[in-house]
Amino acid sequence: MTTQLHAPGPPAGLLGLKLARRFSRDPLAFTTEMVREYGPLVHLQFGPQHAFIAAGPDAIHEVLVAGSRTFRKEPRTRNAVRKIDGEGIITTEGDFWLRQRRLVQKGFSADRMARYAEVTSRRTDQMIARWPDSGDLEICDEMTCLTLETIAETMFEVDMAADSRELAEQVEYLSERLVVELGSPLQLPDWFPLPSKRKKRHALRALHGMIRRVVEIRRQSGSIDRGDMLSMLLTAVDTEGDGGQMTDQQVCDEITTLFVAGYDTTASGLAWTWYLLAQNPEIAEQATAEAQYVLSSRSACYEDFEQLTLIRRVIQESLRLYPPAWLLMLREATIDTQLMGYHVPRKSWIYLAPWVTHRSARWFADPLKFDPERFTSGRIAEIPQHAYYPFGLGPHRCIGERLALLEMTLIVATVLRNFGMTLSADQGPVEVEPHTAIRPRGGLRLHVERHVAG
Ligand code: HEM
C-alpha cells in the first residue's frame, strides 16, 4: 500500500522562493538547520518542484544502495558535468556505465597502486625540498599543485610541474561556472557572447586539448604500456562483457573524468587535515611520533600504509568533519516511489550531504570534536552504518577511494616526519566555502618549521 504522506519540512511559502534563496546563499547552514529541525528526511518544495534532503543513514541507504536504479543522477546536472567530463563514468548510467566502470577498475589493481604510491612519494619529496626551513605557506595551493602533478603522472605519465598552477586555475574556473550555472534558473548556451562563456570555452579547450594530445602521443609512440592508468585504458579488454575495448574518445573521457575528480577532492581533504592538526597540537604530536617511528629517516612508501594507523584515523576523521564532496551529485526519482515510508513523487530531487550527516548529533557523539579515536576498532561500531560516507555509497561509490586514502596517508606521514605546522600569525578565522569540493575561503596560511635532525 502506498502512502501519499510527505516527509516533514518547512512550509513552502510563496512558491518556495524564500527557501530557494536561503539554500543558494548558504547551503551548508540551510541543510544543517533543516535536518536539525525536521529530522532525517526533509521535504522541500520549490514551486512545483519537490525536493528532499536525505540525511539519515536509512534514507541514504535507500537512495544510494537499495534504490540506486530508482534514484538516478539528475539529468540537468549530468548534462552540465558532461560538458567537462564527456561520457565518463561520472556522467553515465546503466549498461554503458557498468562496462566502463569495469574497465576503469582494472587501473586500480594492487600492482598499479604500488606504482602510484611511488609517484606520490617522489612528488612529495620534491615539494618539501622546495619548502623553507621556517616560513609561511599557502597550503591549499601547495596541496593542489602536489595532487594535480601526482594525478597527471599516475594517470598519464605527464610532468605537469611547470603548468600545474595554470591548469588548476582553468579546472577551478570550470567547477566555479558549474556551480553558478546549475544554481541559475536561466540556462544560456556555451556559445553565448558573454565574457564568462568565452572564458569557459577557453578553459574547456585547454583541458580537452591537453588530454587529447596526451592520448594521441601515446598511440603514436608505439610503447603503449607504461604502467599508468592511460596504458591500462588503451589496452583493457572487457572480458566479463562484450570482449571489446574503448575507443580513443572513450579513453579521453575517462581520463578527463579521473583527472578532474581525482585531485581537487584530495587537495581539499589534505588542506583540512592540516588545518585540524594545526588546531590540535597534541594529536599532531602523536601523529608526528608515529611518522618518525614508522619511517625513521626516509619518506613514506606503499608498504607503510598499513602501519600508519593513527595517521589513517586522522584522515578518516578529517573526511568526516570536512568531507570534500560535501554534497553528492543531485539524484532524481525516476518513478513515484517512497523513502522511509513517505511519498516521493516522480522527478523529485534528492540532496545527499555528507557534511550534514557527519556533523549531526543524531548520529555522532560530540560531533564537532576532532576525535580520530572514533575510528579505532573498539569504537567504530558506535558509528551507525551508512552515517559515514565521504566517498559515497552503493554502485557509484568513489572508484578512487583507495588511491585517495593511500595518497593522503603517504603525504601526511612524509610531511609530518619533516615539518611542524601551525596557523600563520596572519591567518584570520577560517570559513568554509562550498564549492564542488569544500575549501577554506580565500585559502589557508600555515607556518612550517623543519624538525631539527636528532
Ligand atoms: C578525498 C578524495 C575523494 C573524495 C572525498 C571523493 C568523493 C567521491 C564521492 C562522494 C563520490 C560519489 C559521488 C556520487 O555518488 O554522487 C565519488 C565518485 C567518483 N570519484 Fe571520487 N573522491 C575522491 C578522490 C577520487 C580520486 C583520487 C579519483 C580518481 C583518481 C576519483 C574518481 C571518482 C569517480 C570516477 C567517481 C564516479 C564513480 C561512479 O559514478 O561510478 N575520486 N567520489
Q: State how many domains the chain has.
A: 1
C-alpha cell at 187: 540556462
- Which pLDDT score, from 0 to 100, does residue 179 have? 82
> Per the annotation, does 252 bind a ligand?
no
Give per-residue pLDDT as tens, 343-378.
999 999 999 999 999 999 999 999 999 999 999 999
**Cβ of residue 257 lying under 6 Å from some atom of ligand 1:** yes
Which residue minimizes the CA distance to atom 8 of ligand 1? Answer: 391
Hey, whose CA ends up nearest to atom 18 of ligand 1? 398
Report yes or no on 109 lying in a domain.
yes
The Cβ of residue 233 has, within 10 Å, a number of other Cβ atoms equal to 25
Residue 10 in any domain: the answer is: no
pLDDT reported for residue 399: 96
Name the pairing type of β-strands 432-434 and 438-440: antiparallel
- Model confidence band, residue 2 (pLDDT cutoffs 50, 70, 90): very low
* Per-residue model confidence as pLDDT tens digits over 144-162: 999 999 999 998 887 776 6
Whether 322 shows a pLDDT value over 70: the answer reads yes
Cβ of 423 less than 6 Å from ligand 1 = no
- Is any ligand 1 atom within 6 A of the Cβ of residue 392? yes
| Cross-strand partners of 333 | 71
Nearest alpha-carbon partner for 190 in 200, 180, 182: 200
448 CA distance to ligand 1 middle (Å): 30
C-alpha cell at 185: 534558473
Range of the domain at 240: 17-450
- Cβ neighbours for 53, distance < 8 A, ≥ 6 positions apart: 31, 34, 35, 41, 42, 44, 351, 353, 356
Domain annotation covers residue 2: no
Cα 312 → chain centroid: 17
Indicate if the pLDDT at residue 213 is higher than 50: yes
342 in helix, strand or coil?
strand
What pLDDT is recorded for position 188?
80
Which DSSP category does 374 fall into? Answer: G
Question: What pLDDT sits at residue 402?
Answer: 96
The reply to whether ligand 1 has any atom less than 6 angstroms from the CB of 404 is yes
Structural contact between residues 401 and 423, judged by C-beta atoms closer than 8 angstroms: no
Q: Which atom of ligand 1 is nearest to the CA of 263?
A: 27
In a domain, 5, yes or no: no
Rounded to the nearest angstrom, the distance between the alpha carbon of 326 and the centre of ligand 1 is 12
Q: Find the CATH number of the domain harbouring 422.
A: 1.10.630.10
DSSP per-residue codes, 414-436: HHHHHEEEEE-TT-----EEESS
Task: Compute the distance between CA of residue 423 and CA of residue 444 in angstroms, rounded to an integer.
Answer: 8
Q: What's residue 14's pLDDT? A: 67
* Average pLDDT over every residue of 329-356: 97
pLDDT tens figures, 297-319 = 899 999 999 999 999 999 999 99
Q: What pLDDT sits at residue 378?
A: 95
In a domain, 365, yes or no: yes
In this predicted structure, what is the pLDDT of residue 235? 87
Which amino acid, one-letter code, is at 203? A
The residue contributing the CA closest to ligand 1 atom 19 is 398
171 ligand 1 Cβ < 6 A: no
- Of the listed ranges 242-256, 322-336, 381-395, 405-419, the one predicted with least confidence: 242-256
**pLDDT over 90 for what percent of the chain?**
72
- The pLDDT of 23-46, averaged and rounded, is 94
Split at pLDDT 50, 70, 90, the class of 397 is very high
pLDDT value, residue 10: 92
- The verdict on the CB of residue 328 being under 6 Å from ligand 1 is yes
Structural Rg of the chain based on CA atoms:
22
* Chain mean pLDDT for the chain: 92
Q: What are phi and psi of 440, to 5 degrees?
A: -70, 125
Pocket test for ligand 1, best of 232, 326, 398 (most atoms within 8 A of CB): 398
Confidence of residue 3 (pLDDT cuts 50, 70, 90): low
Angstrom distances, CA of residue 285 to CA of 163, 361, 375, 421, 449 = 35, 28, 18, 10, 14
Q: Quick one: which atom of ligand 1 is closest to the CA of 352?
A: 16
Whether residue 169 has pLDDT greater than 90: no
Pairwise CA distance, residues 264 & 131, whole Å: 21
